[in-house]
């Protein structure tokens, strides 16, 4: 390894202890980059054939066919759509993982964005969200990514939150503006909390239930938030519900 490419991870065990662990992480980083590139390439390669297959399936569904064929076609096209959304999520995740943050993005109004996401979701499935905005701010960032974050958190609150109220709150916090999405669902056991943002991780109950999902939504959310200097925080109590929140740092926020 050439000296300039050697990357080390230094772990220091307390101030008064003399042990220092120096580990070469160059290889680990290289394998991780290879893995990311591989997933990005495969997802891109799958996109075109899938679009063609789904297009023809849609065309066939418009034709007069025997009932038995129609049933099979219906299943093929719903699985095709599922696959397409999985591939789109993988492409988005790869893009976020490798995005370089040279630019801090443009300003957008957070409250307007929240309204627009809520309107869009409600037009699909008639759920209601109670929106509480204590501050009206402009945020510097990437509006499409923030739209995805809000949409993922609200969709999850609907999917896993039972029939109780879903609340979206925008309020002042010590070092910026806090955005929280709360539901009154069954909650998530403590052992799962740290793993929820891993790719494809789903709590067993969700895997077994009929609730659709790939387990990529929170991984995408985590990376999109990191792009804004924010981190996803999850609090949950069994039987009471969950709150997913993040703080947009003050340097990215200005009054509207």
**Running DSSP on this structure, what letter comes out for residue 161?**
S
Binding of residue 127 to ligand ADP (CB under 6 A): no
Nearer to ligand ADP, 238 or 250 (CB): 238
Q: Is 214 in the site for ligand ADP (CB under 6 A)?
A: yes
Q: For ligand ADP, which is the closer residue by CB, 80 or 185?
A: 185
Written in H, E and C, the secondary structure of 101-158 is CCCCCEEEEHHHHHHHHHHHHHHHHCCCEEEEECCCEEEEECHHHHHHHHHHHHHHHH
Which residue is closest to ligand ADP by CB? Answer: 213
Q: Are 236 and 245 in contact (CB under 8 A)?
A: no
Interface positions, 183-202, toward ligand ADP (CB under 6 A): 183, 185, 188, 196, 201-202
* Tokens 């869009």 -> residue: 120
Helices within the chain (DSSP H only): 26-61, 67-98, 110-125, 143-160, 190-193, 204-208, 217-226
Q: How many positions of this chain bind ligand ADP (CB under 6 A)?
A: 20
Among 160, 228, 230, 232, binds ligand ADP (CB under 6 A): 160
b/e string for 186-213 if b means 16 or more Cβ within 10 A?
A: bbbeeebeeebbebebbbeebeeeeeeb
Chosen residue from 94, 148, 180, 206 binding ligand ADP by CB under 6 A: 206
Task: Judge contact between 149 and 181, C-beta under 8 A.
Answer: no
Q: Which residues, 215 to 234, sit near ligand ADP by CB under 6 A?
A: 215-218
Choosing from 43, 140, 148, 242, the residue that interacts with ligand ADP (CB under 6 A) is: 242
Number of other residues whose CB lies within 10 A of the CB of residue 27: 10
**179 binds ligand ADP, rule: CB under 6 A:** no
- Report the residue number, 222 or 252, with the smaller CB distance to ligand ADP: 222
The pair phi, psi for residue 216, each rounded to 5°, is -105, -15
First to last CA, the chain: 51
Work out whether 246 is an interface residue with ligand ADP (CB under 6 A). Answer: no
- Per CB under 6 A, 148 contacts ligand ADP: no
Q: How far is the CB of 86 from ligand ADP (least distance, A)?
A: 9
Determine, following the binding rule CB under 6 A, whether residue 141 of this chain makes contact with ligand ADP: no
Least distance to ligand ADP, CB of residue 206, Å: 3
φ, ψ for residue 245, nearest 5 deg: -145, 170
Could you tell me the smallest distance in angstroms from the CB atom of residue 23 to ligand ADP?
Answer: 30
- Positions that interact with ligand ADP (CB under 6 A): 152, 156-157, 160-161, 183, 185, 188, 196, 201-203, 206, 213-218, 242
């Amino acid at each position: 390894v050439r000296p300039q490419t050697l990357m080390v991870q230094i772990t220091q065990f307390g101030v008064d202890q003399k042990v220092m662990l120096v580990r070469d992480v160059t290889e680990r980083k290289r394998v991780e980059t290879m893995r990311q590139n591989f997933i990005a390439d495969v997802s891109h390669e799958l996109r075109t054939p899938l679009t063609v297959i789904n297009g023809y399936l849609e065309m066939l569904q418009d034709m007069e066919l025997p009932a038995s064929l129609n049933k099979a076609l219906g299943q093929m096209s719903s699985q095709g759509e599922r696959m397409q959304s999985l591939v789109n999520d993988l492409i988005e995740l790869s893009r976020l993982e490798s995005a370089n943050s040279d630019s801090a993005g443009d300003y957008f109004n957070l409250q307007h964005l929240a309204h627009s996401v809520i309107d869009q979701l409600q037009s699909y499935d008639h759920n209601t969200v109670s929106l509480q905005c204590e501050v009206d701010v402009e945020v510097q960032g990437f509006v499409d990514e923030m739209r995805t974050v809000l949409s993922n958190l609200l969709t999850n609150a609907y999917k896993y939150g039972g029939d109780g109220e879903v609340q979206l709150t925008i309020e002042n916090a010590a070092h910026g503006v806090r955005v929280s999405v709360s539901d009154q669902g069954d909650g998530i056991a403590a052992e799962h909390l740290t793993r929820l943002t891993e790719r494809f991780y789903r709590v067993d109950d969700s895997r077994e239930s009929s609730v659709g999902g790939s387990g990529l939504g929170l991984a995408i959310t985590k990376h999109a938030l990191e792009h804004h200097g924010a981190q996803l925080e999850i609090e949950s109590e069994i039987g009471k519900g969950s709150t997913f929140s993040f703080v947009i740092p003050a340097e990215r926020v200005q009054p509207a």
